[in-house]
Amino acid sequence: MTDVTSSKSSRRPHHWRHDLIELAALFTAVVVADTIAKTIAKGPDGAYLLVFSAIALVATAAFHTWWARRHSHAPPPGTAGGDADGRSPAASTAEDGEDATGGGEDAEGAPRPPAETALWRMRTTVEDTPGSLAALCTVLARLGVDILTLQTHPLARGTVDEFLLRAPAELSAQDLARETAAAGGRDTWTERADAHDLVDTPTRVIGLATRTALDAAELPLALRGLLGRCTLHSVPALSLTGRPIGEQAPVEGVLEETVMRLRDPHGGTLIVERPYLPFTPTEFARARALVELDARLGPRVPRSQDVLTLPEGNEITVRRADQRDLRAARAMHDRCSARTLGLRYHGPVGDADRYLDHLLSPRFGRTLAVQTASGRLVALGHLLWDGDETEVALMVEDDWQRRGIGAELLGRLVAMAEEAGCASVYAVTQASNTGMVAAMRALRLPLDYQIEEGTLVITARLAAAPHRSPRSETRPLPHEEVRRAER
């Protein structure tokens, strides 16, 4: 309940006895005034005394009226109408050097321009003692910094406080770190934030968990979104030749300052590195929870698919693929020529099947498959998470080449990369692979070319491209018809 008293209820109750007393006083005053007036009028200076008495009476009545009004309307000391000294808000503001015309207007009533601000993310470690956080908040308030959100990460010694701040634009990161250190903060880290950071942490974590639940390939992206700027590597348990690769992380995971090792539910180890900022036990527990969610849900890919009509009338279906398509992908390899396999894998043709299990794993990226009306797989497109970078790769069966299928797959993969927040994608091919070069150029994105010993690396910068929805990024085939279907 709000502690509010209305003006009607704050008035004193009116009583008839007050009226009777005032009426009696009025008659008494008239009688006394009449008696004095008759006495004075008989004297030599009676007229002058009568005028001066009237003036004094009027002055006294005016003073009494002013005094009564002032004390009947003034709020009591210490209430909401004034401060503890009995000053009104306007008087207090004026004494503090501010005008009383309102915070958003100047003395002439014109609106003041809003002050420019900047968003900052700041993380600092303070002693786990009473008043340490209060001292830091006091310093931030003195700098004119507004604390939008605050997270605490308890440590064995001290506490890591993570802030989202709105600070004056002229306040630099160095000044912010220096003042924080003066208030007792240590190991301070700051970086510019944006509007996406305004989402509160519980909402962001629930959104990442939902994306992970819908698509197994989202786990690496969800870990990046949860932990910030970091590098994630997925190390399989066995190499392509079947030999063990290093030691597998324990079920509970391992936390080593700036390195986090988690057990991959699909086998192997997930290694997360963030060299510029150590992980906290709270972040480690959140990452483990996402990995456990992925393990409980098992293999899964989105069920949506698109049916496209080629210019000659054939229908093809574009859908997501995973390791359950391994047998169909190997059959496609058997139908491809040695040249097609060589352009795709840049190595011995006989080793091509060894890569498929790795490429189809959702842990390493996303795969799109193209199948005919009869269900035969005729093309694969891969979007592979490669540390901080993202690779795209295509392979189309010989009999289905030069029909626009490769360009269709590439457009969809680039749209996925943009949706995932990737800044660029690159393709590794041979300089003689004119089809891949033409497909990359058709993206109409800024391209960088690097050639070394016959190997061509083409990098498309996505950050420079205008934002496009994933569906609008899909480049239709000539005269195609597209319809959505659900399996």
Give the tens place of pLDDT for each residue, 398-425. Answer: 999 988 899 999 999 999 988 888 889 9
Task: Return the DSSP state at 277.
Answer: S
Residues 337 and 462 in one domain: yes
Q: Worst-scoring range by mean pLDDT, 212-216, 244-248, 463-467, 470-474?
A: 470-474
Pick from 297, 318, 336: which residue ends a domain? 297
What is the distance between the alpha carbons of residues 249 and 186, in angstroms, rounded to a whole number?
32
Domain that holds residue 316: 304-486
What is residue 354's predicted lDDT score, i.e. its pLDDT?
A: 77
- Reference 379, options 431, 430, 340, 414; nearest CA is 340
Amino acid at 214: L
pLDDT of residue 487 exceeding 60: no
> Domain for residue 143, yes or no?
yes
Mean of pLDDT values over 211-237: 84
Which of 65-69, 388-392, 439-443, 476-480 shows the lowest per-residue confidence on average (mean pLDDT)?
Answer: 476-480
Residue 209 lies in a domain: yes
What's the gap between Cα 336 and its chain centre?
46
Q: Quick one: pLDDT band at residue 17, thresholds 50, 70, 90?
A: low
Let me know whether 132 and 239 are in one domain.
no
Query: Which pLDDT value is given to residue 52?
Result: 66
Which residue in 429, 361, 341, 442 sits closest to 391, CA to CA? 429
**66 occurs within a structural domain:** no
**Predicted pLDDT of residue 435:** 87
- Average confidence score pLDDT of the chain: 77
Percent of the chain with pLDDT over 90: 26
Helices (H) and strands (E) in the chain, counts: 15, 17
Q: Are residues 257 and 242 in the same domain?
A: yes
- Those residues whose C-beta lies under 8 Å from the C-beta of residue 309, and which sit 6 or more positions away, are 315, 477, 480, 481, 482
* Residue 6 confidence (pLDDT) above 50: no
457 and 309 share a domain? Answer: yes
Do 424 and 341 share a structural domain? Answer: yes
Q: Phi first, then psi: give them for residue 191, nearest 5 degrees.
A: -155, 155
Per residue in 82-107, pLDDT (tens digit) is 444 444 333 343 344 444 334 455 55
Residue 252 lies inside a defined structural domain of this protein? yes
Out of 308-317, 327-336, 408-417, least confident range: 308-317
107 is a domain residue? no
Residue labelled with tokens 């195609």: 480
- Output b/e per residue, 281-301; b: 16+ Cβ within 10 A: eebbebbbebbebbeeeeebb
- In a domain, residue 71? The reply is no
Phi, psi of 478 (to 5 degrees): -60, 130
Which of 297, 316, 339 is at the close of a domain?
Answer: 297
Structural domain total, the chain: 3
More confident residue, 298 or 86: 298
Axis crossing angle, helix 352-359 with helix 326-335, rounded to the nearest 10: 150
Token pair 């790769």: residue: 393
3-state SS of 375-390 is CCEEEEEEEEEECCEE
pLDDT on residue 425:
92
- Global pTM reads 0.60
In a domain, 292, yes or no: yes
pLDDT of res. 464: 47
Which pLDDT band holds residue 380 (cuts at 50, 70, 90)? very high
pLDDT number for residue 56? 67
Residues 279 and 409 in one domain: no
**Residue 480, pLDDT score:** 40
Answer yes or no: is 7 within a domain: no
